[in-house]
Structure formats: structure tokens, C-alpha cells
Structure 1
Amino acid sequence: MNDPLSKTTVCISLLLLLLLPPLSAASPPQIISFQKGFTQLFGGNTNLLRSDDGNTVHLHLNQYTGAGFRSSNMYNHGLFSARIKLPSEYTAGIVVAFYTSNGDVFEKTHDELDFEFLGNIKGKPWRFQTNLYGNGSTSRGREERYTLWFDPSKSYHRYTILWTSSKIIFYIDEVPIREILRSPEMGSDFPSKPMALYATIWDASTWATNGGKYKVNYKYAPFVTEMTDLVLHGCISNPIQDLVTDTCMQMDQQLETIQYNNITRKQKSAMKRFREKYMYYSYCYDTLRYPVPPPECVIDPLLRQQFKETGRPRRHHRHSRKGLSSQMYDDIEDED
């Protein structure tokens, strides 16, 4: 199917079908236009451009500034999602971030859930990392880094963060890539305060590519990332109020029971394959930083054998992206 509109329609339909809630009192997840759900952070009229229908936003980075926006409201748990297309060609030093945070309200005790896409020199693939912080636990970063089975600059792909009172799941398209289950031992390290959704593109030359070896080259500017079909689904909350309303309790129950929250056996197999093939750093296997793995870590014996004490693979296999996208989905369909 080569028609972009058809692909968009199918992707949206699949997402909304997966997210249909069993509770009739709560509305199903919906695509939210920029005007209805978001506000600009920085970038001005030149670096943040919106489509006429408000469903697509282009974020530009040039030698003067980057761009960013955030949701107009904060949410007590929720599902946050967008279809994203990243810049192409030379992208070293660039970071595109899609994340939730409450750092503007709780500076010293903030919570955060991240997708961070890390640019690269021409001819080298984009990489990305996921991370979570709870209650200001920035000294206990829980980052994992990965490559992708496709070129994220060629077409849109959907990236999703699901955050409930019991778990956090990161998705790419319909493939779950990381799941964190809340445990009593995590305590306040599990994000628990209302958060807003953010999206930014910015110059991170000091660290993003090979530890800062390669900088942003503005000869290739502007660098443009496109975000479309944004989904915000959660209970709008006042971060200062400790009281959880009945509506928010009902929404939390819905988030715990929607199909997107319940990973199928086929999806678990796809997640396991993704982590075995494309994860090239995990804090759970970094025994230099954490001699005792943090309590949420579930140690996979196979991955334990593959990773060194630095949390990096003993031997990092390079995978051609050609055909891997369809292979990933075919594997899901072919398994019993």
C-alpha cells in the first residue's frame, strides 16, 4: 500500500481500535488538534509551523533556535502518542524529544518519561533512548538505548507512552519495546505526580553523538521533525491538589484495562526480540553503576549473558534495516 493517506488511515484506525475502553462512561482516545490540546514553548512563528487542520506540527532547528510545544494541561496518568518523522541526512548533535514531565512545577522532585532520538553523522542511523525519573531521582537514571529496525526519517511511525498507576509501557507502532512494572520497592521513584506532554528539537552537540565528538552542522539546516495525529488520553489534573477525583479514579481504572495496557503473548515475543536485537545499553545490566540492579529490573538470563558489566553488549551486531519492519510484524502474526 503506497498511498500515504491510506497508510495514515489504517494506522489511526488500528490505534483507536486497540484503545477502545471497556468503560462506557469514559470517552475513547482521540486525536487532538494543536489548537485544542497544546501550546507553544519556543521557536516563534518561523520554527514551529502548523498545518491548516492543526493535526500536524513541523519543528525546525536552525542556528538561531530550536522549537518545542507542550500540552495545555497536565494529566494524572495517561496515554500519550504521536506519529513522528525525523530529520534526514546529517543529524549529528540533534536531539528530538517526545516526553512527559512536571519539571516546571516540581523543580527538585520532578517526574519524567522520555523518548529521546539522537541524531548521527550522514550515513549512520538514528538511535534513541527511553528513560524515566521519579520524584527528582535524576542521579538514578534508568536509561536504555536502542537502534531501530527502520529509517525513522523516511516515513511516519507512531511512538506511544502509556503511564498508569501500576506500569509504564513504551511502544513503537504496535510493538512494545519496554515495560516497567511498579513495585513497592521503587517507592517514589515511580512517577506519580501529574505530568504534561512535551515535544522539542534542540542542539545537544555537547553529548548527543559519540559523547559530543560530532556537533550540529548548520550547513544542513533547517533540521525539521514532523509530528502528526497526536493523542492525549488521561485525567486532566491540577498538580498542586493532592485530592484524586472520582473522574480521575475512573480514568485510571480505564487505563489499567484498555487493550493497549495488556500486552499479548505475540507482542511479548516481539518485545523480547526487539530487546535482544536492538538494545545496546541497559542500566539493568550495568553493574558498574548498579552492583545491585534497581528493584524494577527483571533480569533476562539471555541478555545477562550478552551484556558486559558496562551494560553494553559483548558484541554489538549491526542489522540491516531493509525488510526488518515487515519481518517484525510478520513474526507477530506468524506465532501461535
Structure 2
Amino acid sequence: MHGVSRQNSLIRTQKTFDHSYQRQMDKFHFLCTMLPCLILLFLHLLCPANAALNNIATVPFGKGFSPLWGEPNIKRSADDKTVQLHLNQNTGSGFKSSDLYSHGFFSAKMKLPSDYTAGIVVAFYTTNGDVFKRTHDELDFEFLGNIRGKAWRFQTNMYGNGSTSRGREERYYLWFDPSREFHRYSILWTTKKIIFYIDDVPIREIIRNQEMGADYPSKPMALYATIWDASDWATSGGRYRTNYKYAPFIAEFTDLALHGCAADPLEEIFSSSCIEQDDQLDSASYASISPQQRMAMKNFRHKHMYYSYCYDTLRYSVPPPECLIDPSEKLRFKETGRLKFEGRHRHRRSKRSRSQDIGARNYGNEDED
């Protein structure tokens, strides 16, 4: 009996040890799983998000902008801080900054139309196409509507000196529904770099180098915002067209920001004050990307970018000079620059609450129609 008792005791001891060991291993695996989050939290404490993007000076519509077209469809708020652009069966609408800028930081909080938005394009961009017809520069946020239940898509682009055949577009999905609430969209354009922001997350950075030559935008540009009917191509190549049963389609803009030096686009040499302001722009807090923001940008591009011109070898047999090819990232893309098939169905619409974190699921289906 004593032998049996000792055996039972040993078994109990072994079970206690195994249970304790398992708990320790569970804790270890949990910490390993949480490590990326802990690192991100550490970076957040060490390098807080770019507060300047949350506290930038804004300008009333009447002091910085003027109607571009469709003036009856431009609705301004009583305090002149918010403007709505309407699209109906008669016309779309748009506005532009009153001045052109040698370089600048251009920003607005935007809310896009909801429900059925197929065929609709909302654009927030800088250009000098009115002045330089064949050699214009341009930086775009271009939002493409969709059928009900499908996500808004958007793309960013860069043209320099009329290089529309060498446009550098990237295409993405958002990690939130842009029709539910306002989010800030910003374009930083300096003598050295271009950064596209959504809220305080940089989603794309273009560093100027000599090999780019005139493809880097260098002439003064104005800021534009428009809403229009692009039924011929915007959704599934024109398969789904704008349905005016859902009109008016309304894009809202508020907290508009214009930071830069107003310049005469025909002047070949900028004034000393503009050169000084350009230098200040280069040294602004939002002209540099913190470690936390760089991690967020990498995460965004991994989860939400579905086309990159840098990996489109059919279009560019040699990647353009500003492209930094990441071999591991390249594996995700086909020779067309689009995601491989197995990477296009990962994110489905979730019934749970939508997180505003970059790491959250897409709010819509990642299939492009």
C-alpha cells in the first residue's frame, strides 16, 4: 500500500509540475504574441504621434478658396469652416485655393458620400494644370465610389512636368468607413519629399533624388477638391454607373489648411521669403516620420495596398528611380503590380465594431470590382 501511495503522490506531483509548466508556457506564448503590441506601445510612449497634424492652423473657406465649377452645388456653413460639394443629375462641383504655392502642406477633414456610390469620384489634389497645360504637376488623393456593401477605394498619384504616361499611382483600401465620420487627409510637398497622410498615419513617402529629374513636381500648385460623375470608368471599368436615385451625393470638407508660400507660377526665381518658408516647411514636425509612424505606414501598406507601380514590371521593366524594392514585399505582387490572387481575399466585412487602429480588419471587401 505504501508503494501505491508513493506512486500516487509522485503522479500528483508530476501533474502539479506539468500544470505549472503549462501555465508558464501559456504566459510565454502570450507575451510572444503581445510583443509586437508592446513594442508599438513603447514606441508610442517614446515617440508620440505627430501632434502637429491634430493642431494645425486652418483657414475659412472665403479667405483661402473660391468656387471652381458647379457653384449652386457648393454649400457653405454659417461659420465658413465647412463646405459641402454636391453631385446631382445636373452637375458636380468643386473648389480651389485662391493662390498657388511654391510648396506646401495641404489638408482637410473629409467625409465621403454613403450608400450606393458607384461611378462617383471625389478628388483632393494639387495641380497647376490651368497654367501649364502640357507640363503640369499634380499630387492626388482620388477616391472611387462603389456599389452598396462594397468599400470605397482610393489611389494616390504623382505627376511631374506633364508625365501622365509615367504616373506613379498606388491603390488602396481604408481601415475605416470614410462615409461615417470625418478623417483628415493631408499632402506634404517640400523641396525634398512628398508625404501623403491619413489622420496622423503617413501612407506614402516619396523622397526626391536626382534621377527623378523633372518627374518631381517643382512648379507652384493650387489645392483643389471636386466631386464628379466618372461612370465610364470609376467602378468595374464602367460596369456600374452612377445612380441618381441616390442623389444628391455629398462630400464634406472642414478644417481646411493651407501652409506654404503663395507664388506667381510664371516667376522663374522665387522670392527670398518663399525660399525661407520652404526651408521652414522642410523642418516642420510633419515633414519627418517618427519610428511609430513608420511602423504604422508599413502596416498600412502591407494590409491595405493592392496595387503598386513599383512592382508593375509590365509597365516599368526597370522600377522608377524613387522605388525602394522590398524583396519580401515583392513576393506579394504579380508582374502587373497587383496582389497575387491568394492575397486578395483576406479581409472581409466584420460585424463587430470597427476599430480605428491600423491593425484592424478592413471595413469592406478587398476584391476590386
SS in structure 1 at match of 2:131 = coil
Counterpart CA distance in 2 for 1:116 and 1:19 is: 21
Matched, 1:32 2:32: no
Report 1:313-324 matches (<5 A). 313-314=339-340, 315-316=343-344, 317-320=346-349
Hey, what does 2:328 align to over in structure 1? 302
Residues 115-146 of structure 1 show CA distances to partners (whole Å, capped at 9, x for unaligned) of 00000000101000000100000011110000
- 8 Å contact from structure 1 (residues 128, 146) kept in 2: yes
Matches within 5 A, 1:86-235: 86-235=112-261
Conserved 8 A contact 1:29-1:233: no
- Tell me the equivalent position of 2:92: 66
Q: Is the 8 A contact 1:31 1:229 kept in 2?
A: yes
Q: Counterpart of 1:326?
A: 356
The superposition leaves residues 277-304 of structure 1 with CA deviations (integer Å, 9 ceiling, x where unpaired) of 0001111000000010000111122220
For 1:319 and 1:78, how far apart are their aligned partners in 2? 37
SS of structure 1 residue aligned to 2:253: strand
- Distance of aligned partners of 1:310 and 1:293 in 2 relative to their CA distance in 1, 3 Å threshold: same
CA distance in 2, matches of 1:319, 1:121: 16
Secondary structure of 1:284 counterpart: strand
Unaligned runs of 5+ in 2: 1-47, 361-369
Q: TM-score, normalised by structure 2?
A: 0.81
Give the letter aligned to residue 18 of structure 1. A
Listed one character per residue, the Cα deviations across residues 130-180 of structure 1 (whole Å, up to 9, x for unaligned) are 001000000111100000000000000000000000100000000000000
Name the SS for the 1:328 alignment partner. coil
Alignment of 1:73-84 (within 5 A): 73-84=99-110
Q: What count of residue pairs does the alignment treat as equivalent?
A: 309
C-alpha separation in 1, matches of 2:120 and 2:246: 12
**Equivalent residue for 1:265?**
291
Identity %: 63
Correspondence for 1:55: 81
SS of the residue 2:104 aligns to: strand
Query: C-alpha root-mean-square deviation of aligned residues, in Å?
Result: 1.8
Aligned to 2:315: 289
SS at match of 2:336: coil
* 1:16–1:29 contact (8 Å) kept in structure 2: no
Q: Give, in angstroms, the shift of residue 19 of structure 1.
A: 5.8
Contact 1:134 1:188 in 2 (8 A): yes
User: What's the offset of the Cα at 1:245?
Assistant: 1.1
TM-score relative to the length of structure 1: 0.89
CA distance in 2, matches of 1:262, 1:287: 30
- The structure whose Rg is larger is 2
Q: Offset of 1:326 from its aligned partner?
A: 3.2
2:110–2:251 CA contact under 8 A, matched in 1: yes
**Rounded Cα–Cα distance in structure 2 between residues aligned with 1:183 and 1:250:** 21
Structure 2 Cα separation of the partners of residues 104 and 325 of structure 1: 41
Q: Deviations over 1:240-260 (max 9, x none)?
A: 011111111111111111110
What one-letter code is carried by the residue in structure 2 that aligns with 1:36? K
Counterpart AA for 2:64: G
Q: Does residue 18 of structure 1 match 2:18?
A: no
d(CA) in 1 for partners of 2:311, 2:189: 24
> 1:334: which partner in 2?
none
- Spell out, residue by residue over 1:195-221, the C-alpha distance to the aligned partner (whole angstroms, 9 max, x if none): 000000000011111111111011111
Residue type of the alignment partner of 1:326:
Q
Q: Unpaired runs of 5+ in structure 1?
A: 1-13, 21-27, 331-336
